[in-house]
Copies of this chain bind each other. A is one copy, B any other.
Amino acid sequence: MKKQHQTNIRAYKSGGFIGKYQKLIRDVVIPYQYSVLCDQAPDTEKSHVIQNFINAGKALRGEDAADGFYGMVFQDSDAAKWLEAAAYSLSLFPDRQLEETADNLIDFIADAQDTDGYLNTYYTIKDKDKRWTNLQEGHELYCSGHMMEAACAYFEATGKDKLLQVMLKNAEHIYRHFIVEGHEGWPGHPEVELALMKMYRITGNEHCLALAEHFINIRGTDSHFYEKEAARRDWSVWNSNPSDLDYTQSGQPVRRQSDATGHAVRAVYLYTGMADLASVTNDKELSDACRRLWESITKRRMYLTGGIGSTVLGEAFSVDYDLPNDTAYAETCASIGLMFFASRMLETDIDSEYADVMERAFYNTVLAGMQLDGKRFFYVNPLEVIPGISGISPTHRHDLTQRPKWYACACCPPNVARLISSFGKYAYGENEDTAFCHLFADGEITFENGMKLTCKTDYPYDFHVSYEIEKGGRLAVRIPGYSKTFTLTVNGNKASSTLEKGYAYLQVNDGDAVTLTLDDTPYFVYPSSKIPQLTGRTALCRGPLVYCFEGVDNEGDVLSLSLTDAQPETSAFKEELLGGIVTLTAGAIRKEGTDSLYTTLRPSGKNCRAVAVPYYTWGNRGENQMRVWMNEA
């Protein structure tokens, strides 16, 4: 099997369910987020990020840097992520005004770059002497990484290479510091690795590849590096513990790591870079490590919703099977990172398990991260919320019942924006002779290998997917793990396809009409009995969507409900409800309430019907109870 790679987003014009979301990002999220970056959004925490770039430019020119730097040490990355999202959106929806805004911002960024290629407003404005003295907390490589991703996206979307040149110069600066001058260390927050791999793929710059390889290879080779680094300097950002190596995935060299540990976003960003490098360099040992870490996450440490990082303490992975519903962290960004990781694993191993996880993370945790109107965001995505406890109890303070607006640490909202706007990159892939359909996304797709097709579907609410083939070739269509049956036809006749690792492969010719029909039957999911929190529970799903039960649909009380095993009913598509959804109705028993905390009287129960909505839509109708995993009657 030849390796595949993501399909260039430029060739993807989307519609359907995803297209609606992409329009929402264009119409609401990108403009709103830009107003935040400019400190022009009402009732929102100050960002100052664009002014930081302007002020850094002034500082470099010896001018008065006015009001200096404001924000977190990684504030620059907010601009980078916005720019990246804007780039993807421009490739879908050309927009001269947005492009001018982006060009303008790029000018400020370019002005903020030092003559030696260094680029970071925090250090440039506040104290140049602190540069590269705090890799553990300093986020310089993290910010560079995000700006490299933005540069790649903007070049792909517009053909303009000003930011790409800035970031090549920045990469050269980093190369000089770490490789030529041989300074020790690796980034506390991985990100630059996957970004350097993107730079390498687009520019062919060998220093980018070498740098990515360097940071991946050196990570965890000296278990005292952060301690030594801390001892050498007289400042700290957060007084982080330099001996907590798990938090930064630095406990041992990456090739020897087996368990996904520490801060979940850092972990999956690292693994993404590792998988990308392993694919380019055919590094079997690194690839095996990626596979072990993938299994650690997806077979023992992942929520049904594709959420990862179950504990608020360090926003981190916990131990195997420790997956509490109510105190979950499950950061939106971590699920986005899990999609990155899955998409890179697909580069060398076309197996539906990777795209199944991508789809699980996207349609559940990632989409749940954003309010349906695009104006509010969850960072934390619990699988159970009980007003009166969630958000209030000391151990549940982070599990909010309603999405807040914008945080001082604004990582998730722009991450959602860039992910949704670049959905096509995850949905489609290709190699020299095959077009891969990993996810079902309405749109026109032109592959670099010459194939071209139009996908029509109302997935994930309708389970018919049609592909009109304009330019034929070999087509590989994923059959999701949830779909026990499927039918694939070409021009109305049963297709002659071969199934391999969850993909149906078939030859298609110009003008062919291919249709795929997946199983739309709602189904129950049962957890491993090794997950203590989930014994006796079941969850209801349909296709890729995990469903949840909210109080608003169920007499205000979902805790008293247990589900029978009767086959749930599927509603017609409800255009007006929650942005357009299908509800499920399950047989249930509602236990009679009691005033006693504990009683010896077995509560009686009455039969009823329990209504479920897709998890990603929860919390859009005011504060109320929500539960994914229901007791079995």
Tell me whether B313 and A524 are in contact (CB under 8 A): no
Interface bits A546-563 vs B (CB < 8 Å: 1, else 0): 000000000001011010
Q: Which residues of B contact A593 (CB under 8 A)?
A: 528-530
Tell me whether A525 and B393 are in contact (CB under 8 A): no
Cβ of A327 within 8 Å of any chain B Cβ, yes or no, is yes
Tell me whether B527 and A396 are in contact (CB under 8 A): no
Q: Which of A530, A565, A594 has the most CB of B within 10 A?
A: A530
Cβ of A205 within 8 Å of any chain B Cβ, yes or no, is no
Interface bits A522-542 vs B (CB < 8 Å: 1, else 0): 011111111111011101000
Cβ-defined partner of A389 (8 Å) among B316, B321, B559, B601? B321
Tell me whether A536 and B523 are in contact (CB under 8 A): no
Tell me whether B601 and A526 are in contact (CB under 8 A): yes
Cβ-defined partner of A319 (8 Å) among B392, B539, B595, B602? B392
Tell me whether B529 and A557 are in contact (CB under 8 A): yes
Tell me whether B535 and A631 are in contact (CB under 8 A): yes
Assuming the A-B contacts A299-B597, A313-B395, A601-B526, are A386 and B532 also in contact, with contact meaning beta carbons closer than 8 angstroms in the complex? yes
Least CB distance from A278 to B in Å reads 24
Docked CA distance A389–B560 (Å):
28
Docked CA distance A270–B570 (Å):
56
Cβ of A322 within 8 Å of any chain B Cβ, yes or no, is yes
Cβ of A238 within 8 Å of any chain B Cβ, yes or no, is no
Cβ of A229 within 8 Å of any chain B Cβ, yes or no, is no
Tell me whether A327 and B395 are in contact (CB under 8 A): yes
Tell me whether A394 and B314 are in contact (CB under 8 A): yes
Docked CA distance A600–B393 (Å):
34
Q: Which residues of B contact A326 (CB under 8 A)?
A: 532-533
Cβ-defined partner of A597 (8 Å) among B302, B537, B539? B302
Cβ of A300 within 8 Å of any chain B Cβ, yes or no, is yes
Cβ of A288 within 8 Å of any chain B Cβ, yes or no, is no
Cβ of A591 within 8 Å of any chain B Cβ, yes or no, is yes
Docked CA distance A396–B533 (Å):
13
Cβ of A304 within 8 Å of any chain B Cβ, yes or no, is yes
Tell me whether A559 and B394 are in contact (CB under 8 A): no
Closest B residue by C-beta to A538 = B602
Cβ of A599 within 8 Å of any chain B Cβ, yes or no, is yes
Q: Which residues of B contact A384 (CB under 8 A)?
A: 532
Q: Which residues of B contact A302 (CB under 8 A)?
A: 597
Tell me whether A396 and B322 are in contact (CB under 8 A): yes
Tell me whether B532 and A598 are in contact (CB under 8 A): no
Cβ of A603 within 8 Å of any chain B Cβ, yes or no, is yes
Cβ of A622 within 8 Å of any chain B Cβ, yes or no, is no
Q: Which residues of B contact A392 (CB under 8 A)?
A: 319
Tell me whether B557 and A324 are in contact (CB under 8 A): no
Cβ of A249 within 8 Å of any chain B Cβ, yes or no, is no
Closest B residue by C-beta to A537 = B536
Cβ-defined partner of A591 (8 Å) among B313, B395, B529? B529
Assuming the A-B contacts A389-B321, A389-B532, are A599 and B394 also in contact, with contact meaning beta carbons closer than 8 angstroms in the complex? no
Cβ of A103 within 8 Å of any chain B Cβ, yes or no, is no
Q: Which residues of B contact A324 (CB under 8 A)?
A: 395
Cβ of A99 within 8 Å of any chain B Cβ, yes or no, is no
Tell me whether B565 and A600 are in contact (CB under 8 A): no
Tell me whether B388 and A526 are in contact (CB under 8 A): no
Tell me whether A598 and B527 are in contact (CB under 8 A): yes
Docked CA distance A62–B559 (Å):
67
Q: Which residues of B contact A526 (CB under 8 A)?
A: 594, 598-603
Considering only residues 311-348 of chain A, those with a C-beta below 8 Å from chain B are: 311-314, 316, 318-322, 324, 326-327
Tell me whether B597 and A389 are in contact (CB under 8 A): no
Q: Which residues of B contact A318 (CB under 8 A)?
A: 389, 393-395
Considering only residues 225-272 of chain A, those with a C-beta below 8 Å from chain B are: none
Q: Which of A392, A525, A529 has the most CB of B within 10 A?
A: A529
Tell me whether A597 and B298 are in contact (CB under 8 A): yes
Tell me whether A313 and B394 are in contact (CB under 8 A): yes
Cβ-defined partner of A536 (8 Å) among B525, B600, B632? B632
Q: Which residues of B contact A600 (CB under 8 A)?
A: 482, 523-526
Cβ of A493 within 8 Å of any chain B Cβ, yes or no, is no
Q: Which of A319, A392, A537 has the most CB of B within 10 A?
A: A319
Cβ of A97 within 8 Å of any chain B Cβ, yes or no, is no
Docked CA distance A395–B316 (Å):
11
Docked CA distance A631–B316 (Å):
29
Docked CA distance A311–B393 (Å):
9
Q: Which residues of B contact A537 (CB under 8 A)?
A: 536
Cβ of A596 within 8 Å of any chain B Cβ, yes or no, is yes
Cβ-defined partner of A322 (8 Å) among B389, B482, B524, B559? B389
Contacts beyond the supplied A311-B393, A536-B562: 16 A-B pairs with Cβ under 8 Å: A298-B597, A304-B598, A311-B394, A313-B394, A318-B394, A319-B389, A326-B532, A482-B600, A523-B600, A526-B600, A526-B602, A527-B597, A528-B599, A529-B559, A529-B594, A565-B602
